[in-house]
Structure 1
Amino acid sequence: MANVKVNVEYCGACGHQKQFLEMANLIKQIVPQAEISGIVGRQGSYEVSIDDKLVHSKLQTMAFPDFAEVSDIVKDVSNGMPIRNVDKHQPINCILM
């Protein structure tokens, strides 16, 4: 299994650290050797990169990635498969007034 690096830029003001920690825990359960790092970044951000390739951007999609799919991608990459983008997103729970 290859070593995989997952980097997440998330908005600290929005409270996205909670989602980062949830996703990091899920990845670690599936790929214990993955190196996961998170940094507080731009407002509204939740940008996920695997081995320096952006695979999901909340700034572009306005949604969080499906954490299970991110974990599956990390597992596939650790097994030598190519990096692919996240296709599934979590439902957006927002109310417009």
Structure 2
Amino acid sequence: MAALIEREIKTAEVELIPSGGGVFEVTVDGERIHSKKKTGEFPEFDDVLDALRDR
């Protein structure tokens, strides 16, 4: 997903932080926009792109 984000939004800076226990968090400008731990699901790529474009 990181490579796709960087390809779609040239100004995006993506940082991958390894974690365990099935955690997959997406944070934009310090605001969490998705938590797999909370929802039980991975985020939809289009939802992540929309959140980035809205910034």
Q: TM-score range by the shorter chain?
A: 0.7 to 0.9
User: 5+ residue gaps in structure 1?
Assistant: 1-22, 78-97
What is the RMSD computed on CA atoms of the aligned residues?
A: 1.1
Match of 2:15 among 29, 37, 54: 37
TM-score, normalised relative to structure 1: 0.52
How many equivalent pairs are there?
Answer: 55
Residue deviations 1:18-53, cap 9 Å, x none? xxxxx1122112211111001112311001100111
Max Rg structure: 1
Identity over aligned residues, as a percent? Answer: 38
**Quick check: which one's strand share is greater?**
1
**Quick check: which one's helix share is greater?**
2
Q: Which has the higher contact order (CA 8 A, sep 6+)?
A: 1
